[in-house]
Structure formats: structure tokens, C-alpha cells
């Protein structure tokens, strides 16, 4: 029976995690290792300057006072007797698309799963938890996706980012990560004691995102699936500056 690890960035008591547990508990040896409270926008950060505390809440169910990546690392390296075959991070309250992938703790958890060697690693998000049926749909689809991916070889060092629109749909589209062209604001104000504070505001959505992107597909009522990679290298053509003109030497392999 394959080992399955669940984590998230909304905290171990989050409804999205509970929906996943309910819908996939019979697919394998299920483990839950998740933050003890919300850790949104922590990306794939890990805790290095203090020890991590782990609280066992039940059978194979652990709360960690750290990030989603911390949780995945602890699961792979300490808490689980064998590394999991499947890692699912989510179900997140809110979409993770475009440049948000660089900030998302949900996506960070899935990326860490891929880095640690999980054969299947998913990040799953819905536009909002306000409609419980969307959570049910996302959890059911996650189950189906795992069953399908078990007979398909995902490329090495890759993981999937799955996002569900607010409207009910059974239409899916394979997409690429989009780009967010709108800049967000920083709110500056004084607190009641006269001390200045700064609040980073959310960026507005693109008015008309390209339909082949994650945000564009969701805007048109599709479930978005994106295959992401840990490889951050640029594989296109580029003519770099000739730094050897300034006294440096360039060596090639």
C-alpha cells in the first residue's frame, strides 16, 4: 500500500485538509504532517534558527510549529518509517496562480515533496472555501488524479499545480504559469500611538489573462493543471555580455 503524505499552509485544522483526508484515506497509508497554524505566503522556506516542535494529534497525524516545507522534510526524514510515494499540499483557501507560485506555502509544500523524491506531488487550491461543494469537488478530483498518475511517469523533478474556479465545472485545461502584470500597493499609515506601519496589499487581477495560462483558464471556468519543475535554469537562447573584455576569463566545459 503506497504511503501518502498530506500537508498545507492553512493549518492542520483547515477544512481543505479535512476534505482531502476524507476523500483519499483509503487510497494508501495516509499520514498528515501540517503546520499548527496558518503559514500562508511562506514559499518553500525552512526553519533553521530554532528547533521545531511536533505535537502528535492522533494516529499518523502531526502538527508542526513550522512551514509546509518543514513538515515535508520532517515527514521524509524522521516521522514516517518510509518516504511517501505521494505528497498532496492543500486544499488551499484561495488560488495559487501566476507569480503567486513564488510566494505560496501550498506550492512550496508540493515542491519540497518533489525535491525529496515523491513520485507524485500535487499542490491543490480552490478559489474560496465559501462553498463547501467546491472543496468536495477538489478533493474528489485530487483522488481521481492520483489514481491516474499512478500509471503515468511524471517527468523527474516535476510536480503539479491544480486550481479550481469558484463555479462548478468538469472541464479541465493544461496550462502554463501566467504572469501578473498589475502592481499591488503598499498601505502606509500611523497606528493610534503615532507609529508608522506598512501593509502590503494584494495585487488586482489581470483584466484579460491569456487563456493558455492558469489564471486565464480559471477566468473561463476551467480547472487549471500546470506541470511545474524544480529546474530554474533558462533553456532558451541568450547572448550574454562579454565579461572577458573587462579582464575576466571564461571557461567552458
| Distance from C-alpha of 9 to C-alpha of 23, rounded to nearest angstrom | 19
**Residue 65 confidence (pLDDT) above 90:** yes
Q: Does residue 190 belong to any structural domain of this protein?
A: no
pLDDT in tens, 204-247: 777 788 999 999 999 999 999 999 999 999 889 988 888 887 78
**Residue 201 confidence (pLDDT) above 80:** no
Q: Does residue 249 belong to any structural domain of this protein?
A: no
What per-residue confidence (pLDDT) applies to 253?
67
Q: Does residue 241 belong to any structural domain of this protein?
A: no
What per-residue confidence (pLDDT) applies to 231?
94
What per-residue confidence (pLDDT) applies to 183?
67
Helices and strands of the chain, counted as H and E runs? 5, 11
- The grid coordinates listed for 83 are 518516504
Q: Which of the two residues, 195 and 204, has the higher pLDDT score? A: 195
Distances (CA, A) of 42 to 33, 38, 55, 115, 142: 16, 10, 21, 17, 23
**Residue 195 confidence (pLDDT) above 80:** yes
pLDDT in tens, 19-46: 999 999 999 999 999 999 999 999 999 9
Whose cell is 566545459? That residue is: 253
- Mean pLDDT value across residues 103-125: 97
Q: What is the CATH number of the domain that holds 85?
A: 3.40.1210.10
Domain span at residue 19 reads 3-180+209-231
Q: What is the pTM of this model?
A: 0.93
Based on the structure, what is the number of domains in the chain?
1
Q: Does residue 253 belong to any structural domain of this protein?
A: no
Q: Does residue 29 belong to any structural domain of this protein?
A: yes
pLDDT above 90 covers what percent of the chain?
A: 75
Q: Does residue 89 belong to any structural domain of this protein?
A: yes
Q: Does residue 79 belong to any structural domain of this protein?
A: yes
What per-residue confidence (pLDDT) applies to 182?
63
Assess contact for 101 and 132: CB atoms under 8 A.
no
- Mean pLDDT value across residues 1-15: 95
What per-residue confidence (pLDDT) applies to 249?
86
* Beta-bridge partners for 129: none
Mean per-residue pLDDT of the chain: 92
DSSP percent split of the chain into helix, strand, coil, nearest 5:
25, 25, 45
DSSP for 191-246, please give it. -TTS-EEEEEPPPPPPSS--TTBHHHHHHTTPEEEEEEES-----S------GGGG
What per-residue confidence (pLDDT) applies to 181?
61
Assess contact for 164 and 132: CB atoms under 8 A.
no
pLDDT in tens, 115-157: 999 999 999 999 977 678 889 999 999 999 999 999 998 999 9
Q: Which of the two residues, 114 and 190, has the higher pLDDT score? A: 114
* Beta-bridge partners for 55: 63
Amino acid at each position: 500500500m503506497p504511503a501518502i503524505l498530506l500537508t498545507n499552509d492553512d493549518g492542520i485544522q483547515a477544512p481543505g485538509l479535512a476534505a482531502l483526508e476524507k476523500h483519499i484515506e483509503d487510497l494508501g497509508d495516509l499520514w498528515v504532517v501540517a503546520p499548527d497554524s496558518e503559514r500562508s505566503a511562506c514559499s518553500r522556506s525552512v526553519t533553521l534558527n530554532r528547533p521545531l516542535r511536533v505535537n502528535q494529534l492522533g494516529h499518523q497525524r502531526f502538527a508542526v510549529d513550522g512551514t509546509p516545507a518543514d513538515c515535508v522534510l520532517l515527514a521524509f526524514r524522521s516521522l514516517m518509517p518510509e518516504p511517501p510515494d505521494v505528497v498532496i499540499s492543500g486544499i488551499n483557501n484561495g488560488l495559487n496562480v501566476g507569480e503567486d507560485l513564488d510566494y505560496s506555502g501550498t506550492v512550496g509544500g508540493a515542491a519540497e515533496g518533489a525535491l525529496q523524491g515523491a513520485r507524485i506531488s500535487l499542490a491543490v487550491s480552490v478559489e474560496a472555501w465559501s462553498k463547501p461543494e467546491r472543496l468536495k469537488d477538489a478533493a474528489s478530483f485530487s483522488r481521481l488524479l492520483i489514481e491516474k498518475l499512478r500509471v503515468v511517469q511524471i517527468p523527474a523533478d516535476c510536480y503539479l499545480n491544480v486550481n479550481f474556479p469558484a463555479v462548478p465545472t468538469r472541464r479541465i485545461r493544461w496550462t502554463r504559469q501566467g504572469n501578473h502584470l498589475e502592481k499591488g500597493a503598499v498601505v502606509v499609515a500611523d497606528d493610534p500611538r503615532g507609529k508608522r506601519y506598512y501593509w502590503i496589499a494584494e495585487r488586482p487581477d489581470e483584466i484579460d489573462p491569456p487563456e493558455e495560462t492558469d489564471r486565464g483558464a480559471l477566468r473561463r471556468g476551467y480547472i487549471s493543471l500546470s506541470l511545474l519543475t524544480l529546474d530554474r535554469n533558462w533553456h532558451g537562447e541568450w547572448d550574454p555580455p562579454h565579461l572577458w573584455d573587462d579582464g575576466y576569463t571564461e571557461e567552458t566545459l
